[in-house]
Homo-oligomer: A and B are copies of this chain.
Amino acid sequence: MATLEDIGVAAAFNLLSALVFFLAFAILRLQPFNDRVYFSKWYLKGLRTSPSRSGAFVSRFVNLDFRSYLRFLNWMPEALKMPELELIDHAGLDSAVYLRIYLIGLKIFIPITFLSWAVLVPVNYTNNTLKLQLKNVTSSDIDMLSISNIPLGSDRLWTHIVMAYAFTFWTCYVLLKEYEAVANMRLHFLQSEKRRPDQFTVLVRNVPPDPDESVSESVEHFFLVNHPDTYLTHQVVCNANKLAKLVKTRAKKQNWLDYYQLKYSRNNAHRPIMKTGFLGLCGEKVDAIDHHTSEIEKLSKEIAEERERVLKDPKAIMPAAFVSFKSRWGAAVCAQTQQSRNPTMWLTEWAPEPRDVYWPNLPIPYVSLAIRRLIMAVAFFFLTFFFMIPIASVQALASIEGLVKVAPFLNPIINAGFIKSVIQGILPGLALKLFLIFLPTILMIMSKFEGFTSLSSLERRSATRYYLFNFVNVFLTTVVAGSAMEQLNTFIKQSTNEIPRTIGVAVPLRATFFITYIMIDGWAGVAGEILMLKPLIIYHLKNFFLVKTEKDREEAMDPGSLGFNTGEPQIQLYFLLGLVYASVTPALLPFIVIFFGLAYVVFRHQIINVYNQEYESAAAFWPDVHGRIIIALLISQVALIGLLSAKHAAKSAPFLIALIVLTIWFYTFCKARYEPAFIRYPLQEAMMKDTLERAREPNFNLKPYLQNAYVHPVFKEEDEEDEDEFNYKLETESVLVPTKRQSRRNTPVPSKMSGASSPSLSEVAPKHSEHTN
């Protein structure tokens, strides 16, 4: 148990380390040779070019203007300056709404902090319970401010119940307002946007096989019959997974070829040599450049064959299609209705935007989906509660005794003092750490297996799972102090009304731990984020080894994106801590507030200057965020019931149960009231937009615009790399072919642009789409 002083020291230390990170960032970002790392978003948008073509050689790499170092924190006000509307325009709605999660944290917790310090802290502090016990029980100064200091059965506990009501109502009020605001932003975004192919398009899955017709014909006939007035065109989905794999392999080889050619050009003395075996460690030695050139040639041939096969073979056509309509109204109708009497056939859903499609999952049939979902639910249950079993066995293996048993010949090496201590100190922890690092990837793979069809839904599902995992294995494990497996055992064996008690009693005891956690993971972690260490290092390595042209340099920088699947669940942990401790240990709240404030500024800066969002889901994740904050509220209420019953104030339980019922009701109300805005496209909106557009551009020909909007990305990539190869195809198209420069510049900007103006999507004409205009 830490005293106030300990906490103070820890806070100072963590604030200092945050300051060091900011200082390092301030220095690094001013160096021109880091410019592409810290302003990558602007480069991708084409609004910034490599600095200092002119000027001294040194100043191309190091910033010598010392005055700029003095204002080392001035990126903060800059980050806050951009208004929200401009931010949406600049980085997309997803990013802007993501920032609102931090903002909602501030909105919820600043008033709660003031209120609880004004009311609860005096009420708690003016007791002597802990002072009297101090001799027996370890207790910290922080606990003097917490509910622990209230004697058993005291009437003062009613204050905490009243405060729980106040906190709940305030949180719900903020959530309601925010849900409404985000829903409006989303509708406004969809409304004010330029034309986007996904507004007109519906993804149709599980097209039933027809012995007489191809998939394409079957789709066309079905929609011509059932949506005669609105059907426009469609694109079938072909299974280009193998082709994509080949193209990826070739790109990798090409990279190596570039590397060796660069090496050779720098040192003309002898040609680079490589080994063909595993990881270049064994096998016969060959000339690296020749080897890769021939490999690439071979691959190119294979790719060409595979491409022909995909375009011609009817077996490569999947029973899924993107069906486009003449109006948004038609698409909205088709996406929201059931088409066939068998509800597992002709499944329609609003198409994700082209960048957002996760192609490999499109052809999974319905029954398989249901089974996959079951398998993944069971797998996730075991992953959450029993993940410690394999790790424990790895740890046992990684211990000295384990290693010696498995490989006795290692005995002499292991017993050397230094190595022994390394193994004992690092290996067991390493196994757990490695697992935790790979966890988001594992969860992502699970989501992919489950069969979601868009990247955004994959990330949302992974986020949900990550949140659950964190809740069980970080929050509950810390509070109840036992592995998840042990908890499961405890909870099953405990009586139903004992469970909240177990949690409730433990909650105030862990306050100091969580304060430290918030400072390390929250404050320092967020400050570290701004440094972008990993991309910085990778960029400079690539820059040194691979970059030959300006185009290479462009590609060397991978700014990454927000990473909803890992980021959001971590924020949710802070909501959970804040709400649980609000009425128990108010001393924790200021730390939460500082976290949200800091994170808001840092991520706003990153979103403006660095991250490049891969897709735009128009804030489709908000219902999840909203739901999880309400779950945090419910948990805080359950914990308070448990705590109060341990404090012999059980007669107050009905009041808190009523609060729980009200909170659940609030959730269902919000779900019915606002969630449809995130799933459906209201016909009124669609009709309005259609009418407006028809009045503005009465002669716009929609068909060529939509014809090739949904083309497997491998065709697009291919196309960018060797355009000439397919020029013969383009000649049959009536679409204007833009210059390469334009199409390159356009692809990475937010979808609203790419949808509206990126004709690179239509550079390929898959043969099987037989509708010409």
Q: Can you list, as one digit per residue, whether each of A686-717 has a CB less than 8 Å from chain B (1) or not (0)?
A: 01000000000000000000000000000000
List A635-687 residues whose CB lies under 8 Å from chain B: 661, 665, 668-669, 672-677, 680-685, 687
Interface flag for A341 (CB, 8 Å): yes
Query: Is the Cβ of B332 less than 8 Å from the Cβ of A672?
Result: no
Complex alpha-carbon distance, A673 and B378, angstroms: 21
Q: How far is the CB of A664 from chain B (nearest CB, A)?
A: 9
List A451-504 residues whose CB lies under 8 Å from chain B: 491-498
List A360-410 residues whose CB lies under 8 Å from chain B: 366, 370, 374, 378
User: In the complex, what residues of B have CB within 8 A of residue A297's CB?
Assistant: none
List A227-261 residues whose CB lies under 8 Å from chain B: 227, 229
Complex alpha-carbon distance, A493 and B494, angstroms: 9
Q: Which residue of B lies closest to A336 (CB)?
A: B337
User: In the complex, what residues of B have CB within 8 A of residue A497's CB?
Assistant: 492-493
Q: How far is the CB of A89 from chain B (nearest CB, A)?
A: 22
Q: Which of B222, B225, B336, B672 contacts A370 (CB 8 A)?
A: B672
Interface flag for A187 (CB, 8 Å): yes
Interface flag for A343 (CB, 8 Å): yes
Interface flag for A127 (CB, 8 Å): no
Q: Which residue of B lies closest to A184 (CB)?
A: B341
User: In the complex, what residues of B have CB within 8 A of residue A743's CB?
Assistant: none
Query: Is the Cβ of B682 less than 8 Å from the Cβ of A370?
Result: no
Q: Which of B222, B227, B492, B682 contacts A341 (CB 8 A)?
A: B682
Complex alpha-carbon distance, A333 and B343, angstroms: 16
Q: How far is the CB of A577 from chain B (nearest CB, A)?
A: 26
Q: State the majority secondary structure of interface residues on A.
A: helix
Known: A370-B665, A494-B496. A673 touches B343 (CB 8 A): yes
Q: How far is the CB of A185 from chain B (nearest CB, A)?
A: 12
Which of A374, A672, A673, A684 has the most C-beta atoms of chain B within 10 angstroms of its own C-beta? Answer: A684
Query: Is the Cβ of B338 less than 8 Å from the Cβ of A682?
Result: yes
Q: Which of B187, B337, B661 contacts A683 (CB 8 A)?
A: B337
Interface flag for A340 (CB, 8 Å): yes
Q: Which residue of B lies closest to A190 (CB)?
A: B341
Known: A226-B687, A496-B493. A677 touches B337 (CB 8 A): no
Interface flag for A63 (CB, 8 Å): no
Q: Which of B346, B681, B682, B687 contacts A225 (CB 8 A)?
A: B687
User: In the complex, what residues of B have CB within 8 A of residue A227's CB?
Assistant: 683
Q: How far is the CB of A323 from chain B (nearest CB, A)?
A: 13
Interface flag for A34 (CB, 8 Å): no
Query: Is the Cβ of A672 less than 8 Å from the Cβ of B341?
Result: no
Known: A491-B496, A493-B495, A493-B496. A337 touches B333 (CB 8 A): yes
Q: Which of B226, B229, B495, B675 contacts A229 (CB 8 A)?
A: B229
Complex alpha-carbon distance, A682 and B332, angstroms: 15
Complex alpha-carbon distance, A456 and B491, angstroms: 42
Interface flag for A344 (CB, 8 Å): yes
Q: Which of B332, B337, B661 contacts A680 (CB 8 A)?
A: B337
Complex alpha-carbon distance, A226 and B685, angstroms: 9
Query: Is the Cβ of B683 less than 8 Å from the Cβ of A226?
Result: yes
Complex alpha-carbon distance, A491 and B498, angstroms: 12
Query: Is the Cβ of A683 less than 8 Å from the Cβ of B338?
Result: yes
User: In the complex, what residues of B have CB within 8 A of residue A672's CB?
Assistant: 343-344, 370
Q: How far is the CB of A618 from chain B (nearest CB, A)?
A: 14
Q: Which of B341, B346, B492 contacts A495 (CB 8 A)?
A: B492
Pairs A–B under 8 Å by Cβ, sample size 7 = A226-B683, A337-B683, A343-B673, A343-B675, A370-B665, A491-B496, A492-B495
Given contacts A222-B684, A336-B337, A492-B497, 14 further A-B contacts (CB under 8 A): A339-B682, A340-B682, A340-B684, A341-B682, A343-B676, A343-B677, A366-B673, A370-B665, A370-B669, A374-B661, A378-B661, A493-B495, A493-B496, A496-B496
Q: List 5 tightest A-B contacts by C-beta distance, closest first.
A: A343-B676, A338-B680, A336-B337, A495-B495, A374-B665
